[in-house]
Amino acid sequence: EAGVVQSPRYKIIEKKQPVAFWCNPISGHNTLYWYRQNLGQGPELLIRYENEEAVDDSQLPKDRFSAERLKGVDSTLKIQPAELGDSAVYLCASSFGWWETQYFGPGTRLLVL
């Protein structure tokens, strides 16, 4: 069974540039999560989707971050413009339902210079 797929794996950009991450969840998983993980810390939830609906985006910095999951399957997370403090690993996870076991993709490591 294919796991959660993310791309790109690595991204280096200059500050003020836009960047986008893509995620394809495990087939059949209705719930999709985007997390940000800083060095030495656990994942922090940015947004959670139930199918195509964003049901929890309370920790998404909405001034510069946006996300979409138009057909309830794959999803994109965008940052525009990026800041130095956005350097982190961005993880996508999926599960059958809310707070059931979440399966993580390999993440996208972002470095903002």
Partner 1 sequence: EDKVVQSPLSLVVHEGDTVTLNCSYEVTNFRSLLWYKQEKKAPTFLFMLTSSGIEKKSGRLSSILDKKELFSILNITATQTGDSAIYLCAVETRSGGSNYKLTFGKGTLLTVNP
The residue ranges that bind partner 1 (CB under 8 A) are 3-4, 40-45, 48, 56, 58-59, 93, 99, 101-107
Least Å from the CB of residue 9 to partner 1: 9
Contact 39, 90 (CB under 8 A): no
Q: Which of 73, 69, 77, 76 is nearest to 30 (CA)?
A: 73
Least Å from the CB of residue 25 to partner 1:
13
Cβ–Cβ under 8 Å, residues 107 and 34? no
Residue 90 token pair: 């961005």
Q: Minimum distance from CB of 14 to partner 1 (Å)?
A: 27
Nearer to partner 1, 3 or 85 (CB): 3
